[in-house]
Amino acid sequence: MADVLPHSLFTDFDIELFKAGKHYRLFDKFGSHLLTRDGQEGTYFSVWAPNAKQVSVTGDFNYWNDQEHLLKVRWDSSGIWEGFIPGIQQGALYKYKIQSQEGTYTEKADPYARRCEHPPSTASVVWKDHYEWKDTDWQQNRGEKNSLTAPFSVYEVHLPSWRKKPGENRSLSYYELADELVAYLKEMEFTHVEFMPVMEFPYDPSWGYQITGYFAPTSRLGYPEELKYLIDQLHQNGIGIILDWVPSHFPEDAHGLGNFDGSHLYEHPDKRRGYHPDWKSLIFNYGRNEVKSFLISNAIYWLQNYHIDGLRVDAVASMLFLDYSREEGEWEPNIYGGNENLEAIEFLKELNLEVYKSFPDVQMIAEESTSFSGVSKPVFLGGLGFGMKWMMGWMNDTLLYFQKETVYRNYHHNDISFSLTYAFAENFLLPLSHDEVVHGKGSIIGRMPGDEWQQFANLRLLYCYMFTHPGTKLLFMGSEFGQHAEWDFNDQLDWYVLEYKFHYGVKQLVKELNALYKKEEALYKHQFDQQGFEWISYDDHENSVLSYIRKGEHEKDWVIVICNFTQVPRTDYRIGVPKKGSLTEIFNSDADRFAGSEMSCTTKVKIEKIGWQGRTHSASVELPPLAVRMFKIS
């Protein structure tokens, strides 16, 4: 048996803070760390396994012999096993072989590993990168770009399937994405990109949502420093990065966190609270302090070490409710008899408090689909403390409305206007995400009724309505050019369709909508505030027309929006306006460059002193079929 020397990174470690669940930088201590001790180079290992009787490090350096390098348990009853092994260098493969108090054995990857083997191999890799960041300008000005009063338009990407390498049928690497994806985002004028999970995961069809390596970027696309290079290039080109983060569940794979030391260490021991029936995966024990420290440390790790600008927290609703996707008898009420998961709620509050304390200029975004109150309200006001929440109600109502043949839309007019009755209850982000183009749902364009012209006019109308509706925006890749096929994680997007005018027209429309959103203060300054929105008319169900004003600080910045949700042109449609002058068109989704009909060529409309819709002035405008026109008063 080789020597494992008693070097420790825990000499200045507050064990009581760890036990209390208040240590949020565990990655500095746990895992494998290259260092020099008494002139000897090697690797220090530490792992939390309180139910272990014996823990050894096995790897390619000892022929996976579980008796060669035994770790030693600390004297302080923390359950931490540690030791320094000389000679182990960068790139070494390793796992922990754990014998439980009951005599069972498990072989586990390192929960804190910075790099993992390429799946299906499952070993951890000793790794320390030396990347030198060049995004100082972005970091110094991030607060302005990430502000709730700034334009925030997100392009959601599954990196392995965005584009394949021509002739090789493989995903682009992080380095290659730093050229192609960055250039595309810049061309399309998105302010942010959201990466679906990039942490290491074993099973491709999970899209990254079943994580085994929480601190390691997937090796499918390259090395950790190559992901940092991609992020750095995005920042240098003025684009923020949101990272999908999954604290809601984890897979049962043998090398993962489940049954880690022969006990339910990370997962809740009660299957009613520790097993997710939808995803056949395990649920973290949010009431265990060390698990809370693990998760919050992981969030901090990505924000600190990878310069991430925000986290989109996956499946928050499944965390908040004990009866989520469970039938009667499959769940147990909390101590007050309710269905809220009180421990998960406290965890989310702690998470957001610590993140915003350490990184006040990032954004925490909740994917939360229920009416749970105060998701994006501060913790001191009784909320969960997120910066934004996905507006799932808007997404569902809007897509259902747009699926209807236009002749029936007048009977469902309330469905398209209803979202404004609660639009300011939370800081809402409007999502058309990957979840809307999978599992047989088809594509967004595939939901649109009518012939080809009408389908694409409807899609342009949908995006204009989305970009002028209060709230921030998110589009999943492929939707920005109207891909017909449902998303396939094994293939790339259908880039070839951009040879056709309708697809190219939608792409051009999204590009110009992003530019307009960034240019017109009225579209973003008060995007979470009633002050930024005023109806002109919400009740014209007979014509299926909505008209409203988006407001900035000054009247000269206001944008008047008129949406015609049918294919019937309106040649003399009168709207009430707030003052005299003339209407100057700033956007028309029916323009020829978007593959529209270019029905209306009049870009300036006189305002008349004719009372209408409760206002002293009004104007008569042409409304093209299935189109949105936007004006400013001059």
The whole-angstrom separation of Cα 531 and Cα 481 is: 33
Tens-digit pLDDT profile for residues 170-225: 999 999 999 999 999 999 999 999 999 999 999 999 999 999 999 999 999 999 99
Which of 523, 555, 586 terminates a domain? The answer is: 523
Asked if residue 479 and residue 563 are part of one domain, the reply reads no
Tens-digit pLDDT profile for residues 138-163: 999 999 999 999 999 999 999 999 99
The whole-angstrom separation of Cα 226 and Cα 147 is: 28
CATH of the domain at 582: 2.60.40.1180
Asked if residue 488 and residue 349 are part of one domain, the reply reads yes
The whole-angstrom separation of Cα 212 and Cα 358 is: 26
The whole-angstrom separation of Cα 531 and Cα 550 is: 9
Catalytic residues: 314, 367
State phi, psi for 225 to the nearest 5 degrees: -70, -20
Asked if residue 348 and residue 447 are part of one domain, the reply reads yes
Band of residue 76 on the pLDDT scale cut at 50, 70, 90: confident
Asked if residue 110 and residue 78 are part of one domain, the reply reads yes
The whole-angstrom separation of Cα 452 and Cα 529 is: 37
DSSP states of 233-267: HHHHTT-EEEEEE--S-B---TTSSTTTTSS-SSB
In a 3-state reduction of DSSP, which class is residue 191? coil
Question: What is the mean predicted confidence (pLDDT) over 477-502?
Answer: 97
Residue 504 has pLDDT above 70, yes or no: yes
Question: Quick one: pLDDT at residue 329?
Answer: 87
Whether 131 is in a domain gets the answer no
Residue 457 has pLDDT above 90, yes or no: yes
- Partnered with residue 632 across adjacent β-strands are 584
Question: What is the mean predicted confidence (pLDDT) over 313-336?
Answer: 94
Asked if residue 301 and residue 425 are part of one domain, the reply reads yes
Whether 145 is in a domain gets the answer no
Question: Quick one: pLDDT at residue 2?
Answer: 55
Asked if residue 514 and residue 544 are part of one domain, the reply reads no
Tens-digit pLDDT profile for residues 350-407: 999 999 999 999 999 999 999 999 999 999 999 999 999 999 999 999 999 999 999 9
Band of residue 490 on the pLDDT scale cut at 50, 70, 90: very high
Which of 125, 141, 174 terminates a domain? The answer is: 125
Tens-digit pLDDT profile for residues 521-580: 999 999 999 999 999 999 999 999 999 999 999 899 999 999 999 999 999 999 999 989
Question: Quick one: pLDDT at residue 6?
Answer: 63
Asked if residue 181 and residue 92 are part of one domain, the reply reads no
Q: How many helices (H) and strands (E) does the chain have?
A: 13, 29
Asked if residue 306 and residue 202 are part of one domain, the reply reads yes
Whether 59 is in a domain gets the answer yes
The whole-angstrom separation of Cα 529 and Cα 173 is: 41
Domain count within the chain: 3
Tens-digit pLDDT profile for residues 583-629: 999 999 999 999 999 987 788 999 999 999 989 999 999 999 999 99
Asked if residue 304 and residue 440 are part of one domain, the reply reads yes
* Percent over 70 (pLDDT), the chain: 99
Asked if residue 393 and residue 477 are part of one domain, the reply reads yes
What's the token pair of residue 300?
A: 């901090």
Asked if residue 232 and residue 119 are part of one domain, the reply reads no
pTM: 0.96
Question: Quick one: pLDDT at residue 169?
Answer: 85
How far is the CA of 26 from the CAs of 23, 47, 144, 215, 369, in angstroms? 7, 11, 30, 11, 31
* Close Cβ partners of 337 (under 8 Å, ≥ 6 residues apart): none
Asked if residue 453 and residue 602 are part of one domain, the reply reads no
Q: Which domain holds residue 437?
A: 152-523
| Per-residue exposure over 602-614, b if at least 16 CB sit within 10 Å of its own CB, e if not | eeebebeeeebee
How far is the CA of 182 from the CAs of 448, 513, 519, in angstroms? 30, 19, 21
Residue 5 has pLDDT above 80, yes or no: no
Across the beta sheet with 545-550, the strand order is 533-540, 545-550, 559-564, 627-633, 582-588, 604-606
Residue 15 has pLDDT above 90, yes or no: no
CATH of the domain at 58: 2.60.40.10
**Mean pLDDT score of the chain:** 95
Measuring CA to CA, which residue among 547, 445, 539 is closest to residue 487?
445
Residue 76, number of CB atoms within 10 A of its CB: 13
CA triplet 608, 612, 615: central angle to 5 degrees? 85
Question: Quick one: pLDDT at residue 20?
Answer: 93
Band of residue 77 on the pLDDT scale cut at 50, 70, 90: confident
Tens-digit pLDDT profile for residues 240-270: 999 999 999 999 999 999 999 999 999 999 9
Residue 585, number of CB atoms within 10 A of its CB: 18
Strands 199-200 and 213-217 come out as antiparallel
Tens-digit pLDDT profile for residues 419-434: 999 999 999 999 999 9
Residue 29 has pLDDT above 60, yes or no: yes
Whether 8 is in a domain gets the answer no
State phi, psi for 47 to the nearest 5 degrees: -150, 145
